[in-house]
Amino acid sequence: MGRSTKGWGSGLLGVIIFSASLPATRVAVGGLPPLFLTSARASIAALLAAALLLVLRQDRPARSDLASLAIVGLGVVVGFPLLTALALQYITSARSIVFIGLLPVATAIFGVLRGRERPKPVFWLYSLAGSLLVAGFALSQGGEASLQGDILMLAAILVCGLGYAEGAVLSRRLGGWQVISWALLLSLPAMAPIALLTLPERLGAVAPPAWAGLAYVSVFSMLVGFVFWYRGLALGGIAGVGQLQLLQPFLGLGLAGLLLGEPIDGAMIAVTALVVMCVAGARRFA
């Protein structure tokens, strides 16, 4: 199996794990304050990451890598989780998919700026077509618009795309799980005190689904998913593998259909097939 194929396979596993992140966040903010959710998920994941780094005796990153790790932390550990949690107070998960469709384009742009990648011009046509398909499908599903929520989601996409690209570049030297682990650990001194200060006064009043949502985004969205995702971006290319994010909304809807019995209509299947074609085209010309 070639390096590129391994990268795409690893990236796909990461996207599958991430596909439940927004629904889990939506459930969690129904019972937990957004600031607590953001800081708690980062703190829990950081403690797990610290254990991994200690058990596997990983060397500390070079001083020259600290700035890049800080960008990763601000982008994917703090920025995206906080901004999406705040946005989901004003918009629905369906509405947020409109903006998730823009994430592959943002990741590709930062891949060019930070990773010095040079996709062929046709790549951008496939990428934009895929994003328009995702956004169009999301808009057809409804979901109330909110200027405040839309601005927060747009900001979340920008910082996340930067964090993905920066982390992918670092992963080529440090390794995928090491990058997210060190970024989490660097964020812990700021995140842990915030989690303690924003801890809900009545923990017993928080419904179990909210705790389950926190558990998922802490372990899987914040740590496990990135192990596969950063490895995929590093091996397969930031711009190309980043297009797999176009599949994330449909994977999430598919999981909801399989696990929760929610309906899967023909339109979703048709749009998914078209998006897969766009991802395949983007891969060829990345």
Residue ranges of domains in the chain: 3-285
Q: In 3-state terms, what secondary structure has residue 57?
A: coil
Is residue 229 very low, low, confident or very high in pLDDT (cuts 50, 70, 90)?
Answer: very high
Is residue 126 very low, low, confident or very high in pLDDT (cuts 50, 70, 90)?
Answer: very high
Q: What pLDDT does 262 receive?
A: 59
Taking the C-alpha atoms of residue 219 and residue 217, their distance in angstroms, rounded to an integer, is: 6
Least confident span in 92-106, 112-126, 223-237: 92-106
Q: Which residue has the higher pLDDT, 100 or 170?
A: 170
Q: What pLDDT does 143 receive?
A: 62
- 275 has pLDDT over 70: yes
Is residue 116 very low, low, confident or very high in pLDDT (cuts 50, 70, 90)?
Answer: confident
Contact 130, 279 (CB under 8 A): yes
- 260 has pLDDT over 70: no
Q: What pLDDT does 243 receive?
A: 93
Token pair recorded at residue 219: 């372990």
What is the pTM (predicted TM-score) of this model? 0.85
Q: In 3-state terms, what secondary structure has residue 56?
A: coil
Token pair recorded at residue 230: 């950063």
- 30 has pLDDT over 90: no
Let me know how many helices (H) and strands (E) the chain has, helices first.
15, 0
- 26 has pLDDT over 70: yes
- Please return the burial class of 187, using the count of CB atoms within 10 Å of its CB with bins 0-12, 13-18 and 19+: buried
Range 112-117 average pLDDT: 86
- 223 has pLDDT over 60: yes
Range 180-203 average pLDDT: 93
pLDDT > 90: percent of the chain = 49
- 166 has pLDDT over 70: yes
Q: In 3-state terms, what secondary structure has residue 89?
A: coil
Range 141-165 average pLDDT: 86
Nearest-10 crossing angle of helices 176-197, 147-174 = 140
Taking the C-alpha atoms of residue 166 and residue 187, their distance in angstroms, rounded to an integer, is: 16
Q: What pLDDT does 259 receive?
A: 59
Taking the C-alpha atoms of residue 224 and residue 259, their distance in angstroms, rounded to an integer, is: 21
Taking the C-alpha atoms of residue 247 and residue 237, their distance in angstroms, rounded to an integer, is: 17
Token pair recorded at residue 76: 């994917």
Is residue 191 very low, low, confident or very high in pLDDT (cuts 50, 70, 90)?
Answer: very high
Contact 262, 256 (CB under 8 A): yes
Taking the C-alpha atoms of residue 149 and residue 87, their distance in angstroms, rounded to an integer, is: 4
Q: What pLDDT does 4 receive?
A: 81
Taking the C-alpha atoms of residue 212 and residue 87, their distance in angstroms, rounded to an integer, is: 20
Q: What pLDDT does 98 receive?
A: 75
Q: What are phi and psi of 186, to 5 degrees?
A: -65, -30
